Amino acid sequence: MSTNVSTGVDPDAEQGPLAAHIQHTLIDSGVDAADIDRHCDECGTYGFDAAMVPAAWVSRVKQRLAGTSIKVASAVDFPYGAMTTAGKVAEIRALVDSGVDEIDVGVPIGHLRSGDAEYFSDDLAAMVAAAGAVPLKAMLELPLLAPAQRDVAVRLAISAGIAYLKNASSGKVGKATPEEIRYLRELAPPNVRVKASGGISTAEHARALLAAGADLVGTSNGVALVTAASGDASAGSHPSY
């Protein structure tokens, strides 16, 4: 397998600053080796922050992106946030062993909505412990929570040691808004960062989220965004993660 990837973008080019904040996402059923290799090449060509790929492909992506500054990221308990804590811990440990740089994690929103904040807190703490030095991003699914529940989710995620707060897992939960990002940024201490995701299909939308306080945006539409294409989400079959 080839380990080389194109790195043809001039970092001073107009698209560079936006691309550097994009975690280019390919999370879908039916993804094959050719899809993964093409995804890696796109990350190198456009200078994306990270390649977000399914767990089973992390080792291949690490090899293909070796020698670049592009991070390799994956997700656990996506999209439902309904796995057992033990299952998530085992998957996180496997990803760490495979060399993953960052992991986006589903959280037990259903337990929080049911009033079981202790379960929610313990679940996040166990995942953070399993990840060790690998940063975790908590997909908080804000559109599914009442205002008071949002406050609890953010507070407990920060207390557990989560590195990034995310407004949602994907556009299937809700389209990311500047208001959600400002909310997370206002509550997060300086050492906790913010990632936006959900229906990010245009460069203007991405820039508005960054201006609101997001450090990163996750999307399957990265190429369209940085090439000033239409960015129509219907152009791809992958969720806007």
Q: Give the pLDDT confidence of 37-67 residue by residue, as tens digits.
A: 999 999 999 999 999 999 999 999 999 999 9
Read off the pLDDT of residues 171-197 as tens digits, 9 standing for 90 and up. Answer: 888 899 999 999 999 999 999 999 999
> Quick one: 207 exposed, middle or buried, by C-beta within 10 A (0-12, 13-18, 19+)?
middle
Cross-strand partners of 92: none
pLDDT for the residue numbered 237: 37
pLDDT for the residue numbered 228: 66
Q: Which residue reads 């060790």 in tokens?
A: 132
35 pLDDT higher than 90: yes
Tokens standing for residue 80: 């439902």
Tokens standing for residue 81: 């946030």
| Residues with active-site annotation | 104, 166, 195
**Predicted TM-score of the model (pTM):** 0.89
Q: How many CB atoms lie within 10 A of CB 106?
A: 22
In the chain, what are the domains?
17-235 (3.20.20.70)
230 pLDDT higher than 50: no
Contact present, 9 and 71 (Cβ < 8 Å): no
Amino acid at 211: A
pLDDT for the residue numbered 17: 84
pLDDT for the residue numbered 59: 98
Read off the pLDDT of residues 68-87 as tens digits, 9 standing for 90 and up. Answer: 999 999 999 999 999 999 99
Strand ranges (E), the chain: 22-25, 50-52, 71-76, 102-106, 136-139, 164-166, 193-197, 216-219
Mean pLDDT, rounded, for 4-18: 49
Q: How many CB atoms lie within 10 A of CB 186?
A: 9
Rounded Cα–Cα distance for residues 46 and 63 (Å): 19
Residue of higher predicted confidence among 239 and 95: 95
HSE-up of residue 41 (Cα within 13 Å, Cβ side): 8
